[in-house]
Amino acid sequence: DIMMTQSPLSVAVTPGESASISCRSSKSLLHSNGITYLSWYLQRPEKSPQLLIYQISNLASGVSDRFSGSGSGTDFTLKISKVETEDVGIYYCVQFLEVPLTFGSGTKLEIK
Amino acid sequence: EVQLVESGEGLVQPGSSMKLSCVASGFTFSNYGMNWIRQAPKKGLEWIALIYYDSSSKYYADSVKGRFTISRDNSKNTLYLEMNSLRSEDTAMYYCATGSYFDYWGQGVMVTVSS
C-alpha cells in the first residue's frame, strides 16, 4: 500500500498570513499517462470533507484561489494564502494512483 | 446541484449485519464510479470501497474485504454498502463520495457496533 505522510500535525496561523502543509508518498504518484494522482481535502469541524485540489494543482470548482498545490513525484505541498477563519479544519492529502486509495493522517489548521 | 444522501444509520451488536444506502441526484449517476469512506470517532479518513460506473469492477480495503459488499442500482441512482460480521472497530461515520477524486461527499451516517 502507498503510505501518505503529512506534516506538520497541526499549524496555528494568524489571519492574513500564509500556511503550508506537506504531504509525502511512499511511491511516486506519477502515472504512465503523465497524470499525478494527488488530491487535497478540507474537513471543517463537524462537516463532510470537501475537495480542494486534484492532480497536484487543479483547483476544484468553487474553491477559493487562496488555495494552491504544488509538487511532483512523491513530495507535495498545499499552500493557503491570506488565511481566513473559515479555513479552520483538518486538511488531508489522498493518493488515487492505485487501490487501496490512501489518505494522509491529516493536518489541523487553527487560528492564532 | 449534486446531492448525496446516505441512510441506514444505527446501533448494532458485534457480528450482526447492516446495509447503508446513498441516493444521488444532480448528476448522471450511471456515468461515475462511487466510493465509501469512513471515519472512526476522532480519527482520520479511511477509504473502504470503490465500484465502477457499470459495476464491472469493485475494490475493497483489506480491513473490510470479505465482510463488506459495495453495489449500485443505476436505475435508482443508489449506491449500497452491505456490511456483515460487524466489529467494534467498524464503528464510524460512513460517507459516500463520487467519482475519481471524491468530488462530492454525502453528509455521512453513523454506524455504531457495540454490545
Does pLDDT of A83 surpass 90? Answer: yes
Q: Is the pLDDT of residue A90 over 90?
A: yes
Tell me the backbone φ, ψ of residue B52, rounded to 5 degrees.
-70, 165
pLDDT digits (tens, 9 = 90+) for B72-92: 999 999 999 999 999 999 999
Return the pLDDT at B99. Answer: 83
Q: Which whole number is the average pLDDT over B57-72?
A: 98
* pLDDT surpasses 90 at B100: no
Q: pLDDT class for A95, splitting at 50, 70, 90?
A: very high
**What does the block give as the cell for A61?**
470548482
Dist. CA A69–CA A58, nearest whole Å:
7
Q: Which residues of B57-73 are buried (b: 16+ CB within 10 A; e: fewer)?
A: eebbbeebeeebbbebe
Mean per-residue pLDDT of chain B: 97
CB B24 within 8 A of CB B3: yes
Supply A111's cell numbers.
487560528
CB contact under 8 A, B47 and A54: no
Chain B residue with Cα closest to A62: B103
Question: Closest to B101 (Cβ–Cβ): which among A96, A104, A105?
Answer: A96
Q: Is A68 an interface residue toward B (CB < 8 Å)?
A: no
| Residue B74 pLDDT | 98
Question: What pLDDT score does A6 carry?
Answer: 98
Cβ contact, residue pair A49, B45, below 8 Å: yes
